[in-house]
Structure 1
Amino acid sequence: MAGGWKIGLALSVGSMALASAAHGQTLREAMVEAYNENPNLAGERANLRAIDEGVPLARADALPNLGVQGNFIENVVQGQNAFLQPDRALTANLNASYPIYQGGRVRNSVAAAKTRVLAGRANLRSAEANLFSDVVAVYNDVIRDEAIVQLNQQNVRGLEVNLDATSDRFEVGDLTRTDVAQSEARLAVARGQLRQAEATLIGSRENYIAVVGSAPATLAPPPPLPNLPGDPQVAVVTALNNNPALQAAERNRDAARIDVSTARAARLPQLDLVAGGNYFNYLNTLTSSQIGTSVPQTGTAAQAGLGFTVPLYQGGRPAAQVRQAQARQGVAIEQVTATERNVVAQARTAFAAWQSALRVIEASEAAVDANRLSLEGVRAENSVGNRTIIEILNAEQELLNSQVQLVTARRDAYVAGFALLASMGRAEANDLGLDGGALYDPITNYERVDKRWIDWDSDPKPQPVGTRTVDVPAQTPIVNKALEPDLQRPVDTDPANPSGGVNTPR
């Protein structure tokens, strides 16, 4: 199914490739840019790399420890009976230990760390899906708000023509001052609505910059969403099997269970292989005259053996650690149930919102057609005296409202549909088939650090990945692309002559 989503989006976007210059930026391009440059996603990747280091950290407790300790001592004042104490001494000790048995603590720690790496990868997948959902939302917000601005501009121009025609008819005594006032009032309201729509468009464009990283160009219509389920139960079953947030919670639960075994190891015996050596040098400050015989000024020694520790009583610490790990396991178990509830609710809610928006689109399209016919009829009836100016104004407002409702429903349907895919675990980079370069592979970093054991190892100094937007110009409400044909309507003509053009004289 994920492959079908990839192929479907590729075909949908590919079908617009020839017209990319005319259509402008595509949704795929916005996703690729956000995938490569969004700081939140880059931070999640860095967080996963930190989680990867938990495995070599846990494994380090099973590796040998080697250390050297040195001292230089100057005996400034010596006691009168200090016959074997030199004036100064240089000593060095070499100590080595190798753990042989630690009650399973290291084995369980490594297993828990590896499980948390799997949980981190699932969280990264969830972060990708959330980012792409945000891109889809802001992309469609801009398209919606551009259309709403154009609809309001169209409405203002129509009301301006209406006001001119009404004023002309008032001058010849065909209408009253009330008719003119009604036209003026409706035009003033429409201008206010236009200013509000322009402010909303600016906000949507700024949100687009915050998520994607650059200002929106002329946005192409988004491609169809493939592989959407026809039944909410199908969505729920798929989500329970694939949702990355649920998978992360399950992995964290498994890691918490292993932590309990790790805590129990503190009560078990430990066996270590130990070795050491030392060197001393009195720097010729312990003479034979001090003790009456010749003593060596330098010497070495070495030891090797087994270190065996059997805990008998530790003040209740191990028991408290076990109980603490068990309590945290209980938290992780409940988090799985809570996450599962949320996943089920998200899938069902997104399915219902998607279906509802589809029904609203159908109703709004019918309403736009009906209101367009109604407006034409009211104008025609007004020309013969059967309708008033306020009825024309009301019909125009109804048409505007239905058109705004239509573009809003289209946005809501697409966003809800993508949210449904995200809840089902089908809205990640691998599912989308993004072609903006190689996809980030979390396994590469894990394999790079998994077996590293050198103390003097580090990565290059971290550099910012996310792009800054401070230099992106402030957005304006200017819309350059043409309004969709089914939303266009001719600028209102003289109500007394509805068959004429804008400049048709009375």
Structure 2
Amino acid sequence: MAAVALLSLGAALPARAESLADTMVAAYRHSALIEQNRAVLRAADEDVAASVAALRPVVEWVARQSASRAEGSTTARSTSLSIGAQVTLYDFGRGQLAIDGAKEQVLATRQALVSIEQDVLLAAAIAYFDVREAIQQVGLQQNSVEVLTSERQAAQDRFDVGEITVTDVALADAQLAATRAALAAANGQLEVAREVYLAVTGRQPGALAAPPPLPSLPATLEEARAIAQRTHPAIGQAQRQAAASELAVASAAAERNPTLSGTASVGVTRSPQTELGGYGSRNSSSVGLELSQTLYSGGRLSAGHRRSMAQRDQARAGLLNTSRQVSQQVGETWANIAVARAQITAITQQISAAQQAYDGVREEAQLGARTTLDVLDAEQALLQARADRITAESNLQLAHYQLLAAMGLLTVENLQLGIPTYDPSQYYNAVRNAPATSRQGESLDRVLRAIGRN
């Protein structure tokens, strides 16, 4: 009985409203875009492993079956089995440059993943504020329909006693129909916002809680821009790509250097013995050193070197362009915050004046000093001012999170959402040495399964 009573009490309690943090957490966990770019990062991690493996021995086995026949003799068949190894002993730094370049690409891809995380969280914030704004707009339009329905009935009553003409009633009908159309549009916008919310979070929005207090911001625009230059993931990605391009130039120049390789092989060959008849086996082994260098490649090496330098220049210009774009985004969002604040202040004064005007016009209309059109115009001005304030308040709240994104601070860690986050170093540490043994492979499998559960 106690359990039944407890369940009944739980059923009677209202469901907890979803906060902005809940929306962001749901979007982070639901996002297929984040999963896609995590896979891209894991592929970049494997490039490091491949570069490391290029400096290790390559061991191969070869089984060969051959048959030969000379004129006037029988067919002679031979079978051989050999195992050989080849390793680069010294390549004048090319292999290490490839490893360093792959590592820089990994770091660049990690920054790209942070950018995706910011995009997902910002999309969640936009969906959250859009749904809240749409709900408020629907409520405002519904209230306006109720008010205008009363106004229309009052106009009909006044017409019935001969105080106003049929024109006044028609004006009330027209305004009521227009408000109903606006209500239908607001309901449609709410459905659109809900669909966006569903796409972002994977679930339909329930009751949404009031937004949290606005996040704290830097004191000045210049301070915000300085933070963005240090922390924005797009700038970090461009910096890593520029560093990788520098290494690529050095690697292309090193392609002209010699390569020292070592080889070793052992094998056994089984072939017919012409003098004694039957087959015999012969063991063989060999070791060797090989020093090689490309003297002429038809211009391929020179073209590759020039291409690397052009790509380096491209990366440097991309870094400068990204830095400027981030600075522009910070400035724009900073201005949007100032504009939204000014709009809210002005619209609040407008609503106060419009409310006073509406109340006065209604009283004067009851005394015959104002027309029905005057009342409808005053009511419409008050409605529009209230709708504008809803939009301005939503814009102000959203602009704060857009500024956080422009500064590179809209992340799960910085927002302290309290959920486990993806550790990009976990997979990298498991594969960076190109594991091949069973113990390392089992460890890697456990990492992959853990990543999949997250």
Shift in Å at residue 87 of structure 1? 2.4
- Amino acid aligned to 2:45: D
- Amino acid aligned to 2:111: A
The question of 1:278 aligning with 2:267 is answered: yes
Within a 5 Å distance, the mapping from 1:84-483 to structure 2 comes to 87-282=76-271, 285-288=272-275, 297-436=280-419, 438-454=420-436
Larger relative contact order (C-alpha < 8 A, sep ≥ 6)? 1
Find the counterpart in structure 2 of residue 67 from structure 1.
60
Task: String of CA shifts for 1:431-461, please: whole Å, max 9, x gaps.
Answer: 011223x211111111111113329968699
Looking at structure 2, the residues matched to 105 and 233 of structure 1 have their Cα atoms a distance apart, in angstroms, of 43
Task: String of CA shifts for 1:154-198, please: whole Å, max 9, x gaps.
Answer: 111111111111001101101111110110110111111111111
Shift in Å at residue 21 of structure 1? 4.8
- Amino acid aligned to 1:97: Q
Task: String of CA shifts for 1:194-224, please: whole Å, max 9, x gaps.
Answer: 1111111110110011111110001011112
Tell which deviates more after alignment, 271-280 or 341-350. Answer: 271-280
Looking at structure 1, the residues matched to 325 and 255 of structure 2 have their Cα atoms a distance apart, in angstroms, of 37
Paired residues of 1:280 and 1:299 also in contact (CA < 8 A) = yes
Shift in Å at residue 462 of structure 1? 9.6
Shift in Å at residue 296 of structure 1? 7.3
Paired residues of 1:149 and 1:194 also in contact (CA < 8 A) = yes
TM-aligned CA distance change 1:463 to 1:195, over 3 Å: farther
The question of 1:78 aligning with 2:70 is answered: yes
Partner-residue secondary structure (3-state), 1:426: coil
Partner-residue secondary structure (3-state), 1:126: helix
- Amino acid aligned to 2:412: A
Shift in Å at residue 226 of structure 1? 2.3
Paired residues of 1:60 and 1:453 also in contact (CA < 8 A) = no
Paired residues of 1:42 and 1:465 also in contact (CA < 8 A) = no
- Amino acid aligned to 1:272: S
Looking at structure 1, the residues matched to 17 and 157 of structure 2 have their Cα atoms a distance apart, in angstroms, of 43
Looking at structure 1, the residues matched to 75 and 81 of structure 2 have their Cα atoms a distance apart, in angstroms, of 16
Looking at structure 2, the residues matched to 376 and 464 of structure 1 have their Cα atoms a distance apart, in angstroms, of 62
Paired residues of 2:50 and 2:434 also in contact (CA < 8 A) = no
Paired residues of 1:86 and 1:286 also in contact (CA < 8 A) = no
Find the counterpart in structure 1 of residue 9 from structure 2.
none
- Amino acid aligned to 1:369: S
For the aligned residue pairs, the C-alpha RMSD in angstroms reads 2.3
Looking at structure 2, the residues matched to 254 and 242 of structure 1 have their Cα atoms a distance apart, in angstroms, of 17
Looking at structure 1, the residues matched to 305 and 132 of structure 2 have their Cα atoms a distance apart, in angstroms, of 56
Looking at structure 1, the residues matched to 94 and 42 of structure 2 have their Cα atoms a distance apart, in angstroms, of 24
Looking at structure 1, the residues matched to 67 and 305 of structure 2 have their Cα atoms a distance apart, in angstroms, of 49
Alignment equivalent of 1:25, drawn from 18, 23, 30: 18
Task: String of CA shifts for 1:66-108, please: whole Å, max 9, x gaps.
Answer: 1011112244x4333x6xx972211112221111111211110
Looking at structure 2, the residues matched to 464 and 112 of structure 1 have their Cα atoms a distance apart, in angstroms, of 26
Task: String of CA shifts for 1:413-447, please: whole Å, max 9, x gaps.
Answer: 111110101111111111011223x2111111111
Partner-residue secondary structure (3-state), 2:63: strand
TM-aligned CA distance change 1:420 to 1:412, over 3 Å: same
- Amino acid aligned to 1:78: A
Looking at structure 1, the residues matched to 15 and 279 of structure 2 have their Cα atoms a distance apart, in angstroms, of 93
Shift in Å at residue 276 of structure 1? 1.3
Find the counterpart in structure 2 of residue 40 from structure 1.
33
How many pairs align? 437
Find the counterpart in structure 1 of residue 3 from structure 2.
none
Looking at structure 1, the residues matched to 263 and 104 of structure 2 have their Cα atoms a distance apart, in angstroms, of 32
Paired residues of 2:197 and 2:204 also in contact (CA < 8 A) = yes
Looking at structure 2, the residues matched to 200 and 186 of structure 1 have their Cα atoms a distance apart, in angstroms, of 21
Shift in Å at residue 388 of structure 1? 1.0
Looking at structure 2, the residues matched to 145 and 24 of structure 1 have their Cα atoms a distance apart, in angstroms, of 17
Task: String of CA shifts for 1:229-284, please: whole Å, max 9, x gaps.
Answer: 232111111111111111101110110110011111211000012111221012xx
Larger proportion of helix: 2
Looking at structure 2, the residues matched to 48 and 224 of structure 1 have their Cα atoms a distance apart, in angstroms, of 35
Looking at structure 1, the residues matched to 201 and 452 of structure 2 have their Cα atoms a distance apart, in angstroms, of 13
Paired residues of 2:90 and 2:259 also in contact (CA < 8 A) = yes
**TM-score (normalizing by structure 1):** 0.82
Paired residues of 1:269 and 1:311 also in contact (CA < 8 A) = yes
Find the counterpart in structure 2 of residue 483 from structure 1.
none
TM-aligned CA distance change 1:289 to 1:123, over 3 Å: closer
* Unaligned segments of structure 1, at least 5 residues: 1-19, 468-506
Alignment equivalent of 2:51, drawn from 51, 55, 58: 58
TM-aligned CA distance change 1:183 to 1:465, over 3 Å: farther
Looking at structure 1, the residues matched to 148 and 445 of structure 2 have their Cα atoms a distance apart, in angstroms, of 65
Shift in Å at residue 142 of structure 1? 0.3
Q: Aligned residues: percent identity? A: 31
**TM-score (normalizing by structure 2):** 0.92
Shift in Å at residue 463 of structure 1? 12
- Amino acid aligned to 1:448: A
* Unaligned segments of structure 2, at least 5 residues: 1-12
